[in-house]
Amino acid sequence: MGEALIAAVVLAAGVSSRMGEPKQILPLNGVPMLGRVLEILRRSNVGKVVVVLGANAVEVRKRVKFADELVVVNPKFAEGMSSSLRLGLKLVGTEADAVIIALGDQPFVLPTTIDKLVEAYEQFGARIVIPTYRGARGNPVLFDRSVFPQIARIRGDIGAKSVVKKNAADVREVEVTDMGVLVDIDTPSDLGGMTEVRRKKSRAQAGRSPSRPSRAS
C-alpha cells in the first residue's frame, strides 16, 4: 500500500462532569490539555485535523491556540460521543484514506505512537489499527475509510468499540512503549497520578549517563 492521506478527528465536546471544570482548558505546564493533544498531532504525520467542541466551546476557543485545525462545535453534544464522531467524520471529507480518532483528554500520547499507527496502516492495509501497551489496547485508533459508514451508525454516548468488535478479523495491533495510550484524564487524581509518573520518568532519564550503559540485572 502506498503513502496514504490520514486525517484526525479530536473529540473534545464533553462536559467534564467528573473533573468539575472544563478538561479541555485544564493547564498542563501552562498549556491547556486540548492544546497538548493538538501539539501531539502537529508533530505527527497526520494531515487534516478536525476538532469537535461542544460543552464550554466559547471558553475553549478563547483559551486554546488553534492553528490549521478545522474547529467545529457540535450542537448535539448532549446526545453523547457518537454525535461528535459522526460530525467529525463528515467534515474529514472524501480525500482521506483513513482517520485517527483522538481523545481530547489524552495529552500524554507520543507523536511517534501516532506515526507508528500510520506506518502500520500503510504497510499492512488493515481496516483498524490499535496501539497496545504491555498487551493492553489503548487510544487513539486508526480507522480505514471502508468502516466510516459503520461508525456513522453508532448512537449514544459511546465510541467506536462496537465497530472494532465487529471487524475483529481486520484489526492490526501495534505494540508501543507509550503508556500514554492507556491514560485519559477524567478526574483530578488521574491528572496528578500521571503527572507524577511522567516527572519520575523524566528525572530517571536525566540522571542516566549516556556514555555508560546500565548493567543488566
197-207 per-position pLDDT tens digit: 555 444 544 55
Above pLDDT 90, what percent of the chain?
69
Write down the H helix ranges in 46-131: 57-63, 81-92, 111-124
What's the pTM?
0.85
In a domain, 211, yes or no: no
Q: The domain that contains 161 carries what CATH number?
A: 3.90.550.10
In a domain, 56, yes or no: yes
Q: What is the mean pLDDT of residues 153-179?
A: 94
CA distance linking residue 82 with residue 86, whole number of Å:
6
Counting the structural domains of the chain, the total is 1
Residue 123 scores a pLDDT above 80: yes
In a domain, 25, yes or no: yes
Residue 34 scores a pLDDT above 50: yes
User: Residue 153 is part of which domain span?
Assistant: 6-206
CA distance linking residue 155 with residue 17, whole number of Å:
20
Residue 23: the pLDDT is 85
Q: What is the mean pLDDT of residues 130-148?
A: 97
- Give yes or no for a contact between 98 and 125, defined as CB atoms under 8 angstroms apart: no
pLDDT in tens, 104-118: 999 999 999 999 999
User: Mean pLDDT for the chain?
Assistant: 86
Residue 15: the pLDDT is 76
Q: Which three cell numbers stand for residue 132?
A: 497496545
94 vs 177, higher pLDDT? 177
In a domain, 213, yes or no: no
CA distance linking residue 156 with residue 22, whole number of Å:
21
Cis peptide bond N-terminal to 32, omega within 30: no
Residue 19: the pLDDT is 55
Q: What is the mean pLDDT of residues 22-49?
A: 93
Q: What is the mean pLDDT of residues 86-108?
A: 94
In a domain, 132, yes or no: yes
CA distance linking residue 34 with residue 55, whole number of Å:
13
Residue 209 scores a pLDDT above 70: no
Q: HEC string of 132-163?
A: EECCEECCCEEEEHHHHHHHHCCCCCCCCHHH
